Structure 1
Amino acid sequence: GAGEAGWWLGASHWSRYSLGRISPRLSTKAIVTVSFPGILKATKYRDRCLQVTLLQTKTRGSADCLYLNIFVPHGLSVSSNLPVMVYLFGGAFLLGASNDLAILGDSLYDGKEMADRGDVIVVTVNYRVGTLGFLSSGDARLPGNYGLWDQHAAISWVRRNIRKFGGNPDNITIFGQSAGAASVSFQMLSPYSKGLFRRAITQGGVALSPWALQTNPMALTKKIARKVGCWRSDEDEMLSCLKVSDPVGLTMAGKIDIMLLLGKGVVMDLLELAPVVDGDFLPDEPMKLFPNAAQFDYLAGVNSMDGHIFAGVDVPSINSEKANTTEEQVKGLLGGLTKEKGNAAVASAFGVYSVHWGSVPQPDVVKKTVADIETDFLFLVPTQIALQLHANNTNACRTYSYLFNMKTRIPGFPRWVEAEHAEELQYLFGKPLSTPLVYFPRHRDLSRYMIAYWTNFAKTGDPSKGDSKVPVPWPPFTRNHQPYLIINHRMNKYSVSYDLRSYYVDYWTRTYSQMSAAHTSEEPQKLTPGGMEDGNESLD
């Protein structure tokens, strides 16, 4: 036996271990770990947490879902004191699993290649998503953040037990992508994480992203209550009804209704279920919690077109060869993103993003601008703010910034499209190496580079230093010096650049943030890339 809920399976390249069970209904943060007498034959993945399907038509998964998967590199002898990398999956806080998106028989998040090539232990974990993971009343009656507590419990379990698998509990790195990256960011900011892990990596998302925080949770909870027949004028009665409601019905009530768009608003508005400031796990607004993150080494970045897939829903013409994208469509998108600031913000932002068009803009230039707007607003600018705040607050730990811009492999998109949202994951998890027939040599080169940088960082806190050779040294991001690494298959000394899209970062963090709100409201507003009003925090 290896302690609570953990067992060594020396004959297996990777093994899976129970994290515990939860109530199928809306529950408290308490999670009970269970023991298992003897050796657990961990030969298949367990169920994902109960969630809607990708098409939002039904549910899948189970309430008995809090399991984790441990990938241990196996050589001629059993390793010891290995660095540990814990991965948190993405999926808009609505769907996903530790073994999601099977590619040619293997999960996208299969950790074997990274574990073997980087000589690290990789752990992937499940956590509750959707209504059961993030529904909240905004107070202690239904505090929310259950999915974040699940992640915390998983990381805590790893710290207590990973030594039995050859891991070093004092050298844990957590990493994630999209909502998983925002989750990593929230874990860094929570006071409950003090001393729990050592380093963190966020890929395409941070706690400051405008989609990462629900600022009006009770309004959403009332909407969910109406859908499941729990609406009551008395809030306590309504919440009591929700707590005993059918979990499948609750889960379906949290689905995204794509038909609500119909050319109005933006996709971001549909992503309603998310973490909240609960006064406990997140005791304050994320912007104010960065002193808590100063204890961790931090590596963060985005893909060059993280926003393209969302822009293609908001402005479909950008992916059409036959249709041009008009100025009115660009302004409409900006209006949807900046509606809390009003028409003045639309005119201001349009001027910033169209300044390079010329008198007769090329159609592809306009279309790429739409993708850039959503990439900046949803991903790049919030990440740059997070990097700066981390560098400002830390003395002993390091900060690193990157831009992943490998051209997309997704067929059918225009030629100008570079790296889509989540497209870096196939390289990080070594798919070009494990399934070489569907990739080219350049993709295998890139995969080796990413695995080397990420696992070196997990080992030493410096992505350039470790057992794995890298193509170019990666300089740290500091308070006054802001280099970033451009990651693709052609990496050399010119892959280091400086001040990533600083013209646009400055616009959103300074000019936009100083604009007056379009209306006053007693409700706190969503944090936007420019959400630094009222002197909450300075980047200077």
Structure 2
Amino acid sequence: RTQGLFHRAILMSGSVMSPWMLSSHPSNASMEIAKSLGCLRPKSKAILACLRSKSSEELLRAFETKYMNGNWTQLILPVVDNFLPEEEQYLPVAPEESLSRGMFLKIPVLTGVTSNDGAVVVNQWSDLLQQGYTKLRQFFTASAIPAVALKYNLTNSAHFSEIRTILQWYYLDPVSEGNVMNLLAKLVDFYTDAQFKAPHDLQLRWLANRTVDPLNTVYAYQFEQDDNYLYKKLNISGGGHGEELLMIFGPSLMQKIGRVRYTGAEERLSAIMRRFWIEFIRKGSISSSPYGYGTTWNKYSPKEDNYIIFRADNNLPASQSVLRTPALSLTKDAMRRQMLWLWNDLLPNLKDLEDNHVQKEPLSRPNQTPLPNKDLTYRSAMYTLIAFVIVLLVLLIVCVILLKRHA
């Protein structure tokens, strides 16, 4: 029923591969919002008619009230509706299956994330941020990690203790004792990586898969502007969820958040982003090296990983570009690949170890007592952790060498 409605798409900080993209009972959440607006009726058509009579401000306020303080257990999300008659279906196949099998309309796509998309999650817990280092760390280990692991279907794994140890080592161990701001920044990184960047990378691989469609037109970006206007109370640097909209929609939107004008660097950044977005909307493609900015925004290739980074710097001369391509000589770019490998490869493989042990009986030689399954599980997890540490050490050495050469 949706065929022919879309000719190109701009996907900003969203992915159907996100762990929270499915909801068990979205109708329950819908009914709660309808009830808060006085629209609860016996029949769905009556509820819909009542909701249509409400203003956009009323609808947004009801939605915000329901989900304040991070209450995102049940989101209002689409469902796979293959239970409906075929002529009434909108989403008959799960998005992940559609992407993997190439069962989707091939249209031009522009897609990207911001450096701190996870700020939209942490920003909801205003009371938590005032409780100090110990409470924040306890929340990180006892609530944040298990909740995200549950969405990734990792908590039922026999290796969940190892998975939790890896995540604590990656995100918590670098934080010095008592450093609340550093811990807060790591919590933002955790949600950014798990719920935005890693799922976006998976989706990007499928959308740009040349074996599915050699003529795929996909442009990818990352917004890394240092200034943060929407999440000031978090006191973190780096654009949060929705920050790129401030650059695209210009001064009128900036004024609504209390800013009167752009800096010179922001003006350059806003100009180039608006030109790119307008050109893509009109043509479904972006010219090679347009407007004399120097850096070419090419179609995305998973092999080249050639996304564009938007970031303005007030210290740069006006003639210098405000966009660049990633370079592994830069520590931040190299760390991004390591993070994607952690979420999209290592953790799923750790979970799969259990599945392999369940499906296959361990082999043993004649007259030899086989090792208990518990020992095999521990040994596999130990080898995986050792391999993970070795890879990290190699990446660290490479980064140090490249930084010295760059210096």
Q: Distance in 2 between matches of 1:427 and 1:260?
A: 26
Name which of 508, 511, 516 aligns with 2:343: 508
2:396 matched residue in structure 1: none
1:387 aligns with 2:170: no
* 1:381/1:268 CA distance change after superposition, 3 Å: farther
CA RMSD, 1 decimal = 4.2
Q: Report the structure number with the largest CA radius of gyration.
A: 2
1:349 aligned partner = 167
SS in 2 for 1:483: coil
Q: Could you say which residue in structure 1 is the equivalent of 2:124? A: 313
**Superposition deviation, residue 258 in structure 1:** 5.3
**Shift in Å at residue 420 of structure 1?**
1.9
C-alpha distance after superposition, 1:350-389 (max 9, x if no partner): 23323544x6474332111101111122222221111111
- Partners of 1:411 and 1:278 lie apart in 2 by 37
Report the equivalent of 2:377.
Answer: none
In 2, the alpha carbon distance for the partners of 1:375 and 1:388 equals: 18
State the TM-score, normalizing by the size of structure 1.
0.49
Supply the distance in 2 between the matched residues of 1:376 and 1:470 (Cα, whole angstroms): 30
When residues 385 and 338 of structure 1 are mapped into structure 2, their CA distance, relative to the original with a 3 A threshold, is: same
Aligned to 1:299: 110
Q: Work out the CA distance in 2 between the residues paired with 1:351 and 1:510.
A: 17
C-alpha separation in 1, matches of 2:29 and 2:220 = 35
Structure number with higher relative contact order (C-alpha < 8 Å, ≥ 6 residues apart): 2
Contact 1:432 1:444 survives alignment (8 Å): no
Task: Give the number of the structure whose residues are more often strand, by fraction.
Answer: 1
Q: CA 1:402 to 1:245, structure 2 compared with 1: closer, same or farther past 3 Å?
A: closer
Question: Counterpart in 1 of 2:395?
Answer: none
Q: Secondary structure at the match of 2:204?
A: helix
Tell me, in whole angstroms, the C-alpha distance in 2 between the residues paired with 1:312 and 1:414: 7
1:138-287 to 2 correspondences below 5 Å: 192-193=3-4, 196-217=5-26, 220=29, 241-245=43-47, 247-248=49-50, 255-256=62-63, 266-270=70-74, 272-279=75-82, 280-287=89-96
Map of 1:367-406 to 2, 5 A cutoff?
A: 367-392=184-209, 393-406=212-225
Instruction: Pick one of 333, 337, 358 that aligns with 2:144.
Output: 333
Q: CA deviation at 1:471?
A: 4.7
SS in 2 for 1:268: coil
Contact 1:325 1:363 in 2 (8 A): no
Task: State the distance in 1 between where 2:341 and 2:92 align.
Answer: 28
How far is 1:427 from its partner? 1.2
Distance 1:411 1:224 in 2: 26
The percentage of counterpart residues that share the same residue type is: 20
Q: How many pairs are equivalent?
A: 314
Deviation at 1:479, TM superposition (A): 3.2
Provide the C-alpha distance between the structure 1 equivalents of 2:181 and 2:254, rounded to a whole number of angstroms. Answer: 36
Contact preservation (8 Å) 1:267, 1:314: no
Q: Which runs of 5+ in 2 are unaligned?
A: 83-88, 314-319, 355-407
* Alpha-carbon distance in structure 2 between the residues aligned to 1:453 and 1:224: 37
Contact 2:288 2:297 in 1 (8 A): no
Q: CA deviation at 1:428?
A: 0.8
Q: Secondary structure at the match of 1:273?
A: coil
Q: Secondary structure at the match of 2:233?
A: coil
Contact 1:304 1:403 in 2 (8 A): yes
Contact residue 428 and residue 451 of structure 1 kept, 8 A: yes
CA contact (8 A) 2:171 2:186 kept: yes
Which secondary structure does the structure 2 equivalent of 1:401 belong to? strand
Bigger helix share: 2
- Cα distance in 1 between the residues matched to 2:181 and 2:296: 34
Match of 2:276 among 453, 463, 470: 453
Alpha-carbon distance, 1:225 to partner: 9.3
Q: Is the CA contact (8 Å cut-off) linking 1:314 and 1:333 kept in structure 2?
A: no
| Amino acid of the structure 1 residue aligned with 2:187 | V
Q: 1:471 to 1:211 in 2, by over 3 A?
A: farther
- Show the 5 A alignment for 1:113-124: none
Mark the CA change 1:411 to 1:327 in structure 2 (over 3 Å): closer, same or farther: closer
Q: Secondary structure at the match of 2:295?
A: coil
Q: How many angstroms apart in 1 are the aligned matches of 2:292 and 2:144?
A: 43
Residue segments in structure 1 that go unaligned for 5+ positions in a row: 1-148, 153-191, 232-238, 519-540
Q: 1:210 to 1:411 in 2, by over 3 A?
A: closer
Residue 495, structure 1, aligned to residue 337, structure 2: no
